[in-house]
Amino acid sequence: MIPPRIVLAAVDFSESSRSALTFAARLAKHAGARLHVVHAQDPLLASAARSAGIDIDAETRAELSTFMQSAPPAGEWSPFHEVAEGQAADVVCDIADRENADVIVVGAHGMSGIGRALFGSTTEGLLRKADRRPGRVDTATSGVERSLRSRPHRRRRGA
């Protein structure tokens, strides 16, 4: 929907996701949209932290609040934010579906080579799974790129 009513920003606390959050917040502010910020917590990390007696959920929520303050205008009006456990692309797609987000904004790390082959890319996962076309913020160019694939982006069940 243009203009968007709900903008979902997925962050991982990197500089790239800070740029994405800043862009998403500006877009939401300009469009009069609601901003929803999400961080996907790795399930293995969360399980290990809980086993060690660490309240990783509370620590991550606090870190997310601090991170939002560092990405104006995101911290200026207290957008809804949450930490969810699971694989990043799945978490972002599930929350986008649940919140009926009109646009998803994520940062681009620029991972290539063996790292990309081993770990994949959250952005690529979103492009394959999301009902919406994710906007990717590239910190090298400070621009926003959109997928130009011709097929519609329908989430594949079980993917």
CATH of the domain at 89: 3.40.50.620
Structure tokens at 66: 């601090």
Q: Which DSSP symbol is given to 79?
A: -
Assigned domain for 152 exists: no
- Cα dihedral 8, 13, 19, 20 in deg (nearest 10): -20
Number of domains in the chain: 1
> Phi first, then psi: what are they for 40, rounded to 5°?
-90, 120
In tens digits, the chain (159 residues) has pLDDT values of 578 999 999 999 988 889 889 999 999 999 999 999 999 999 999 999 999 999 999 999 999 999 999 888 887 766 789 999 998 888 998 999 899 999 888 887 655 555 444 445 676 677 666 665 555 444 433 444 443 233 344 444 444
Q: Which residues constitute the domain of residue 26? A: 6-146
Is this model's pTM higher than 0.85 or not? Answer: no
Identity at 87, one-letter amino acid code: Q
Assigned domain for 112 exists: yes
Integer Cα distance of 157 and 119 in angstroms: 21
